[in-house]
Amino acid sequence: HDLRNEVQNKIRRLPVRYFDTNSFGDVLSRVTNDVEAVSNALQQSFSQVISGILTLVLALWMMFSINRVMACIACLIIPVGALITRGIVKISQSQFKAQQDSLGDMNGAITELYTGYNEILLFGQQEQSRRQFETVNDSLQKHAFKAQFLSSLMSPLISLTTYLSIGIIAVIGCFAILAGTLSVGNLQAFIRYIWQVNDPLTQVSQLSAQIQAAFAGLKRIFEILDEPEETESAPAGLLPGPAKGEVTFEHVSFSYGDTPVIRDFNVTVKSGQMVAIVGPTGAGKTTLINLLLRFYDVNSGRILVDGVDIRDMNREDLRSMFGMVLQDTWLFSGTIFDNIRYGNLSARKDEVIDAAKMANVHHFIRTLPQGYNMVINEEGSNISQGEKQLLTIARAILKNPQIMILDEATSSVDTRLEKMLQSAMYTVLKDRTSFVIAHRLSTIKNADLILVLRDGDIAEMGNHESLMAQNGFYSQLYNSQFAWGAEEA
């Protein structure tokens, strides 16, 4: 319980970069399967280890009370058994680690399989997904078999050592009986005590697979616990005052690994301005937003909000200034009311309803049988994509941020819903600084400033009219969209 809490708390403190390089299924496996392996080993082996130690101590005491020479010879079982255990553990540990890693890959494959199930059916890729799953499953079976096979060798090898020890003791005991220094009854009792020494060693060997799986799980857990966390340069609650929303990028550069994405980026956004960021895929649009929210820190340069370097702000304080609506909407399993109120958990019912009205989603909610109490299922599959986006806009409105970010917020809805979203968007963005990322250039014609990104640089900058007059890259993008629409019509 405590270990699982510690891992979960650690995950909350990890930077976004960690999740860019580690699959969701593998992280999930570390929190569930690996912690469970440790828990099972502790629960099931603790009592057996304690009873085994007591049995071993009492048996050795009785053996030494009968005959010290034979007891010393019999004690060789213990170091030999320990050497056997150590050798097999050393060989098999890598297989147990590979088994737990494969289990993480399996979780990732299953998650991908079921979250993308409709797409798999749509493109007829059932056979391909089956082969991919079988590849992961075969890898898990291979490592699990090797790990279990190596672990299963312990018990017979330890028993063989015990049989050899008993044979030697029996020969020595016979000579002692003939010499009159040992009775037949004591020899029989001594051999029985040898078996009692063997029992704890056998129990350890039988628990070996479980214990090694636990150690492999612990290793994977400690890999997470040892990951560097997001460091805070300032304590929480030190914002200078109400946010105005002025944002400045000064000579900002950033790269993912060795790949430059943003190069010497400079722009100043005044309070209340609507800034549209456009450009082809990979131009750096979303990266700019990630830098602004400190999901990543810049490699060089600085970003200022209201004149303060965001690296001098606590991340929680910084992000409290922003509202965000994403193309890939996130709604949790719960009521519509609770999903909207997620933006401000202290909001009253009337404030939630007002936010829904401003987002043009109140009427839709009222048409539902349970209204605001309707439960959204997992993945939000019982409402449409456009309705999800309207709900996330209502959530952002309720937060009442000074700076709003809309990332592709109207790129995957029909025309009717797009108009509703645009109406809600203009209401929300009024008197707020806003950053809008959109491929539909018709949605950002009224922006105060349009930044046209190309290969991480500002290729062009201005409003819609001035950029069209330049007849440059923005004009090409804009005209190509309308030409495409005309061809489809």
Q: Are residues 334 and 373 in the same domain?
A: yes
pLDDT of residue 466: 92
Q: Are residues 301 and 220 in the same domain?
A: no
User: pLDDT tens digits, residue range 345-381?
Assistant: 888 999 999 999 988 889 889 988 889 999 887 666 7
- Residue 230 in domain: no
CATH number of the domain enclosing 408: 3.40.50.300
Q: Are residues 269 and 202 in the same domain?
A: no
User: pLDDT tens digits, residue range 377-406?
Assistant: 766 677 877 788 888 888 888 888 889 888
376 is in which domain, residue-wise? 247-488
pLDDT of residue 393: 86
Q: Are residues 263 and 385 in the same domain?
A: yes
Q: Are residues 210 and 285 in the same domain?
A: no
The most confident of 196-200, 238-242, 360-364, 480-484, by mean pLDDT: 360-364
Q: What is the SS3 assignment for the chain?
A: CHHHHHHHHHHHCCCHHHHHHCCHHHHHHHHHHHHHHHHHHHHHHHHHHHHHHHHHHHHHHHHHHHCHHHHHHHCCHHHHHHHHHHHHHHHHHHHHHHHHHHHHHHHHHHHHHHHCHHHHHHCCCHHHHHHHHHHHHHHHHHHHHHHHHHHHCHHHHHHHHHHHHHHHHHHHHHHHHHCCCCCHHHHHHHHHHHHHHHHHHHHHHHHHHHHHHHHHHHHHHHHHHCCCCCCCCCCCCCCCCCCCCCEEEEEEEEEECCEEEEEEEEEEECCCCEEEEECCCCCCHHHHHHHHCCCCCCCEEEEEECCEEHHHCCHHHHHCCEEEEECCCCCCCEEHHHHHHCCCCCCCHHHHHHHHHHCCCHHHHHCCCCHHHCEECHHHCCCCHHHHHHHHHHHHHHHCCCEEEEECCCCCCCHHHHHHHHHHHHHHHCCCEEEEECCCHHHHCCCCEEEEEECCEEEEEECHHHHHHHCCHHHHHHHHHHHHHHHHC
Last residue of a domain, one of 225, 255, 275: 225
Q: Are residues 188 and 315 in the same domain?
A: no
Q: Are residues 68 and 163 in the same domain?
A: yes
Q: Are residues 191 and 270 in the same domain?
A: no
Q: Is 80 exceeded by the pLDDT of residue 49?
A: no
Which of 3-17, 129-143, 178-192, 474-488 is predicted least confidently? 474-488
Task: Label residue 488 by pLDDT band (50, 70, 90).
Answer: very low
pLDDT of residue 301: 93
- Residue 53 in domain: yes
Q: Are residues 290 and 190 in the same domain?
A: no
Q: Are residues 175 and 316 in the same domain?
A: no
Q: Are residues 375 and 454 in the same domain?
A: yes
pLDDT of residue 248: 93
- Residue 43 in domain: yes
Mean pLDDT of the region 317-327: 83
pLDDT of residue 438: 72
Q: Are residues 177 and 272 in the same domain?
A: no
**How many domains, the chain?**
2
Task: Label residue 486 by pLDDT band (50, 70, 90).
Answer: very low
pLDDT of residue 350: 93
